[in-house]
Amino acid sequence: MEVKEIDQVMEKYGSDPADILGILMDIQEKERYLPRETLDYLSKKLDLPMTKLYRMATFYEALSLKPLGRHQIHVCMGTACHVRGAARILDKLESQLSIKAGEVTPDLNFGLKTVNCVGACALGPVVQVDGEYHGNMSALKVERMLKKYSGSENKEAE
């Protein structure tokens, strides 16, 4: 992200250090993580200690110091989803993507996480991809879902 773009994000918030969380969220939305160079720049520009920025980046689950996948997959491991087979769904996703929960595919296309609950218990097991809910998931549906987000479903239709 160029300095000009960072400045635009800060201007949106009036360059107010009190709005640092919003600034970090907007930057991450564009970059898919918070690069060290960007944090260095923000620290100097907003006169905030780097330790505060790192504390925030590691405290808030929504922020990341490592690159996130283009598509974020969250597997609900709440009680309702767990008893309906969420562990099998997670195993299938880990196998298909060749990563473990908490990791990102080498091509940065997918990030995989487990979450305690997505609040859609009646649809369990639930997988959320980029905010879109996929209910009543099964290991058989995983491959089709991944194709949808990898773009190969669209390529086959052409």
Query: Greater confidence, 158 or 140?
Result: 140
Domain ranges of the chain: 3-59, 71-157
Residue 151 above 50 pLDDT?
yes
Selection from 79, 77, 78 nearest residue 89 by Cα: 77
Q: What is the DSSP secondary structure assignment for residue 18, as one 8-state letter?
A: G
pTM above 0.95, yes or no: no
87 pLDDT higher than 90: yes
Both structure tokens of 22:
């919003």
Quick check: helix, strand or coil at residue 74?
Answer: strand
Three-class HEC string of 109-135: CEEEEEECCCCCHHHCCCEEECCEEEC
Top CATH class of 71-157 equals alpha beta
Summarised one tens digit per residue, pLDDT across range 21-62 is 999 999 998 998 999 999 999 999 999 999 999 999 999 888
Cβ pair 38, 31 in contact under 8 A: yes
